[in-house]
Amino acid sequence: MVEAAQQPKRRKRIAMVHPKFPPSFWSFGFIKEIGGFKTVMPPLGLATLAALTPDEYDVVIVDENVEDIDFEINADLIVLSSMAIQEERMFEVADEFRRRGYFVCMGGPICNVLPGRCRPHCDVLFEGEGEYTWKQFLTEWEKGEHADNYVQEEKVDLRDTPPPRIDLLQTSAYRVGCIQTTRGCPFNCEFCDIIVTYGRKVRAKPIENVIKELQAWADAGVDFVTIADDNLVGDRVYAKKMLKAVGDWNRARRYPLAFYVEMSVDAARDVEFLELIRHANVVETFLGIESPRSEQLKETKKFQNAATPLLDAVKIIQSYGVVIAAGMIVGFDNDDVGIFEDQYTFLQMAGIPIAMLGILQAIPRTPLYERIEKAGRLRSAAQGNNTLSVTNIEPLKMTYEELVTGYRNLFVRSYTLDAIGERWLNNVKQWGSKRDVPPFPGKKPEDPNPADEPNRKWIQKPLGRPRIHLIFATLLILKYYFAGGKEKRNFALKMMWGTLKLQPAAFMQTMNYLAYFIHLREYADKVVARDEKFNYVFDDKNLTAESLGEDGHINMVKNERSKKTKINVNDAYDGAEVTADIAADLEAVQAR
């Protein structure tokens, strides 16, 4: 008797879905045609989760920012991940899949800060990092023994994080690639949710893994990569070693990758580090400056900024060849109506071309949220877009109407063409021989300035490989400005001629940012200036995190206070000189 052939076991299929972003400051939605991309950044979290999935599963990634979602997709499991700004669309997508009978898992940044809101829209909710709980869930799911909530409180060892599945992404649809070399930040800024998600102990990925990931992005045809560390200098010793290795690898390439990074402004104190970001081909860095007023910085426990001369620090960092983007916030408790003029003046003097101006928000599970909730000053539920005219905090030194109106006027004023042009050329000036040389932080005026190198050249290579689309993009940029009326034409001429006078080598970089400024100008006019005032407030003044769906299992505020051994925030300064005032401020933060 011939035995019947055994049927192969059906492979299960997992669809990982990234919901569509609404229009936002960082979407660059007004220049997609010029840039030749469909969206800015790939869903790194889902690509990493796909890499963590055992080989016996088939995995697809569906990014709604790139392609439409097929709600009849062949899948045994739907996995959704998003940021808070995608909240509305994420819930719509999740509810539609569940209505059709799919099993839906949900995780990512939004679930770490708004788990109570996410819970009704999924079958399984993941809080915290997913490297360990995802594999645990799959094992239990196969046995029919899975839980409906997985919480990862202990932080993940980044040696256990595999390279993301870039092969599952339509890489040509994105403006940039994305990697992460560290997680966590040693500082304790009151409003920040980084410690909620990643904690204060900085964990680093092996440098050889970083190089492999960069090579994979380069092989996929990507020229621009965001290093998505929340603070590149959280572990300064590691950062220097990593940047040296990346720079050596990158400079050996015919067309080096260009990098975008985020770091704290106190990096201006470390010339060795600044030389290394220059060596690595970092072309833009985001600085969390927040406020030009020292009292506000102390209020929010951003002591590393309060102890740093901010204007001087920005000029020093710019002089190492980078464009500065900055996060600026209004609505601190000590802010009065004069803050809007102070913010504008600082931005123009500092020459910060890209300023993400926002109103202070109390993000759930942060120390700020805990303080505002206890004081009974929560106006409403938290929301994810901090460049809209709304906040969930009741202000102290001005009315809500004054705050919202002042913010909107500041944003629109900051993105007039004249204001943008002044800031851009001030930034470009720092790349040439006519740069300003401010006093070096922590040094006496008579001491040698380690950042004063008049012969330092602008060596950044921001354009990547030659592409036919660059010609098309340049023509579209010129059409926008030169066919758009006298004001736009004069602005473009001023930008181009000013660059040729200050740093001719950066001419194509100016053309590149002329495209960015189209988006930011249009966003200011068509979104912020026309934004509703969202002046809603709950009747019940005794709002609680639970009533707003902003409770959850992980409370990093309480976790941090309960630790027997506190994180030594001075670790961030290893390898760099620390002045006595900064050390004292940071120790005060640690003691609290």
| pLDDT for res 439 | 85
CB atoms within 10 A of CB 91: 20
Instruction: Quote the pLDDT of residue 265.
Output: 95
Q: What CA–CA distance (Å, rounded) separates 529 from 534?
A: 13
Break the chain down into helix, strand, coil percent, rounded to 5. 45, 10, 45
pLDDT digits (tens, 9 = 90+) for 158-184: 999 999 999 999 999 999 999 999 999
pLDDT given at position 534: 37
Q: What would the DSSP string read from start to end of 180-216?
A: --EE--S---TT--HHHHT-SS-EE--HHHHHHHHHH
Considering the chain, what is the average pLDDT of its residues? 88
CATH class of 176-440+458-528: alpha beta
C-alpha closest to that of 456 among 239, 271, 265 = 271
pLDDT at 581 (0 to 100): 47
Integer Cα distance of 500 and 516 in angstroms = 19
As a whole number, mean pLDDT of residues 120-128 equals 96
Question: Would you state the structure tokens that stand for residue 339, as one six-digit string?
Answer: 């803050």
pTM, whole model, 2 decimals?
0.90
The one-letter code for the residue type at 285 is: T
CATH superfamily of 12-153: Cobalamin-binding domain (3.40.50.280)
From the list 177, 187, 381, 150, the residue with the least C-alpha distance to 266 is 187
User: How many CA atoms are closer than 13 Å to the CA of 592, on its beta-carbon side?
Assistant: 14
| 269, 304 Cβ separation under 8 angstroms | no
What is the enclosing helix (H) or strand (E) of 444? none
Q: How do residues 269-314 score in pLDDT, each as one tens digit?
A: 999 999 999 999 999 999 999 999 999 999 999 998 988 899 999 9
* CA–CA gap between residue 53 and residue 556 (Å, rounded): 28
Please give the torsion angle defined by the CA atoms of residues 258, 260, 263 and 267, in that order, rounded to the nearest 10 degrees: 30
- Angle at which helices 486-502 and 507-523 pack, to 10 degrees? 150
The residue type at 554: I
Which pLDDT score, from 0 to 100, does residue 54 have?
Answer: 96
What pLDDT shows up at residue 380?
Answer: 82
pLDDT confidence band for 577 (50 / 70 / 90): very low
Would you state the structure tokens that stand for residue 45, as one six-digit string? 């979290």
With cut-offs at 50, 70 and 90, classify the pLDDT of residue 1: very low
* C-alpha–C-alpha distance, residues 355 and 530, integer Å: 19
Element (H or E) spanning 425, and its range?
A: helix 417-429
269 within 8 A of 314, measured Cβ to Cβ: no
CA proximity to 296, closest of 265, 332, 261, 346: 332
Q: Closest Cα to residue 57, out of 160, 158, 141?
A: 141
**The pLDDT of residue 446 is above 60:** yes
State the Cα–Cα distance between residues 59 and 61, nearest whole angstrom. 7
CB 485 within 8 A of CB 527: no
Give the C-alpha distances (Å, rounded to integers) separating 355 from 161, 274, 300: 33, 21, 19
Query: Among the listed ranges 222-231, 252-261, 437-446, 564-573, which one has the minimum average pLDDT value?
Result: 564-573
Question: What is the C-alpha separation between 428 and 505, in angstroms, rounded?
Answer: 10
- Domain limits of the chain? 12-153, 176-440+458-528
CA distance 131 to 578: 35
Q: Tell me the angle at which helices 486-502 and 468-482 cross, rounded to the nearest 10 degrees.
A: 130
What are 569's two structure tokens? Answer: 């925030």
Q: What is the pLDDT of residue 541?
A: 38
Given this model, what pLDDT does residue 576 score? 40
pLDDT of the residue at 592 = 47
Distance (Å, whole) CA 359 – CA 576: 33
The Cβ-side half-sphere exposure at 266, using a 13 Å CA radius, reads 27
pLDDT of 578 reads 41
Q: What is the pLDDT of residues 523-571, one digit of tens each?
A: 999 888 886 543 333 334 344 555 555 555 555 445 545 544 444 444 4
Question: For residues 138 and 314, what is the distance between their CA atoms, to the nearest angstrom?
Answer: 48
Average pLDDT on 147-157 reads: 93
* Radius of gyration for the chain, computed over Cα atoms and rounded to the nearest angstrom: 24
Q: Categorize the per-residue pLDDT at 454 as very low, low, confident or very high, splitting at 50, 70 and 90.
A: confident
Q: 149-151 and 177-179 as β-strands: parallel, antiparallel, unpaired?
A: unpaired
- C-alpha 79: how far from its chain's center? 23
